[in-house]
């Protein structure tokens, strides 16, 4: 077996979907299937139960996943240590971020990393930002972009780079495209009856909400405090999926305003500002606490911290007290 086979196995174990796993390791589904069959033949066991409808890890697959993950981590750590003698960082910096973060938050960091450490390659996994903190804790990546709670995380270092309010969106041509809600922050801030109006509106209009994460927690708390039982038309992972369903006219979607700014997702949507009803989204980078991990990992972490601070001079590190 080789590292490419291990990477392919780990990708399928995470995605449990051949097309998505194959894309993440830059091969075809048929190519991924051949890699997996070769690995199973070498080990003499079945790692997955799979048919046309599902993919599931076997008991042997669960055990092998620990070995494969640890082997890939040790490879990456070795690459970093081998470069320490000449002061260069080599290998991969694994990053987890949403699609929105990839075009709105990550580019300055990626450019600085490439300029300062050209032999350290960026490996990006995209997904729901609500999962970022657990993916960091699992050791799948060294760095993630996430929505930060007010006091950060008890066990993770957080670097805040941008704040953005939560807003409601709907199809501009749909039945919810002309609601009596403010279209800008200033108007929303001056609306004395905004909370009362939101309470009435969000009790009746179908909503498209994130399945989990900070935005969902804030909405649920707001609804409980007002004794509202909302009509939830859909729950999904990732802000881009919420926008897609809103564009179809299913209802009002709740997303950070940043998702609509300077990106490809705003076409055909109308944005409603809701002031501070659900608070602001504090967006930033998350990594494991300084001083944890191997010596090579600590060196990489220190380099990342230095680049972040210089690339986002208005940003700030904070941890939960």
Position 269 in a domain: yes
For 280-310, give one letter per residue: b (16+ CB within 10 A) or e.
Answer: bbbbbbbbbeeeebeebbebbbebbbebbee
Q: CB of 320 within 8 A of CB of 151?
A: yes
Residues 277 and 167 in one domain: yes
Domain encompassing residue 262? 163-281
Position 120 in a domain: no
Position 157 in a domain: no
CATH number for the domain that contains residue 69? 1.10.10.10
Position 117 in a domain: no
Q: What is the Cα–Cα distance from 74 to 97, expressed in whole angstroms? A: 23
Instruction: Give pLDDT tens digits along the chain (321 positions).
Output: 788 888 888 888 888 888 888 877 778 888 888 888 888 889 999 998 887 678 889 999 889 988 988 888 777 766 665 555 556 677 788 899 988 899 889 999 999 999 988 888 888 888 888 888 888 887 778 899 998 888 788 888 899 999 999 999 999 999 999 888 888 776 766 667 788 888 888 989 999 999 988 899 999 999 999 999 999 999 998 888 999 999 999 999 999 998 888 667 788 999 998 888 888 889 999 998 766 666 667 778 888 999 999 999 999 987 544
Q: How many domains does the chain have?
A: 2
* Token pair belonging to 131: 């999962």
């Amino acid at each position: 077996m080789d590292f490419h086979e291990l990477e392919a196995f780990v990708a399928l174990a995470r995605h449990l979907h051949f097309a998505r796993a194959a894309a993440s390791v830059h091969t075809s589904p048929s190519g991924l299937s051949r890699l997996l069959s070769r690995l199973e033949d070498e080990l003499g066991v079945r790692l997955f139960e799979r048919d046309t409808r599902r993919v599931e890890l076997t008991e042997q697959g669960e055990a092998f996943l620990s070995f494969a993950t640890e082997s890939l981590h040790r490879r990456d750590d070795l690459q970093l240590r081998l470069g320490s003698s000449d002061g260069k960082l080599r290998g991969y910096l694994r990053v987890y971020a949403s699609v929105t973060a990839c075009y709105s938050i990550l580019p300055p960091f990626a450019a600085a990393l490439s300029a300062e450490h050209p032999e350290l390659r960026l490996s990006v996994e995209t997904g729901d930002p609500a999962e970022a903190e657990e993916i960091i804790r699992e050791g799948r990546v060294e760095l993630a972009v996430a929505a930060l709670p007010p006091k950060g995380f008890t066990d993770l270092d957080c670097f805040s780079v941008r704040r953005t309010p939560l807003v409601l969106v709907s199809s501009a041509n749909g039945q919810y495209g002309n609601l009596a809600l403010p279209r800008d922050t200033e108007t929303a801030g001056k609306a004395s009856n905004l909370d009362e109006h939101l309470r009435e509106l969000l009790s009746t209009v179908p909503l498209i909400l994130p399945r989990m994460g900070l935005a969902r927690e804030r909405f649920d708390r707001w609804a409980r405090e007002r004794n509202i039982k909302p009509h939830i038309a859909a729950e999904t992972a990732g802000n881009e999926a919420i926008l897609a369903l809103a564009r179809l006219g299913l209802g009002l979607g709740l997303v950070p305003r940043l998702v609509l700014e300077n990106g490809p997702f705003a076409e055909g949507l109308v944005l409603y500002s809701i002031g501070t009803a659900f608070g602001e989204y504090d967006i930033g980078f998350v990594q494991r606490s300084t001083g944890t991990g191997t010596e090579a990992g600590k060196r990489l972490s220190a380099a990342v911290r230095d680049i972040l601070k210089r690339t986002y001079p208005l940003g700030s590190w904070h941890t939960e007290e």
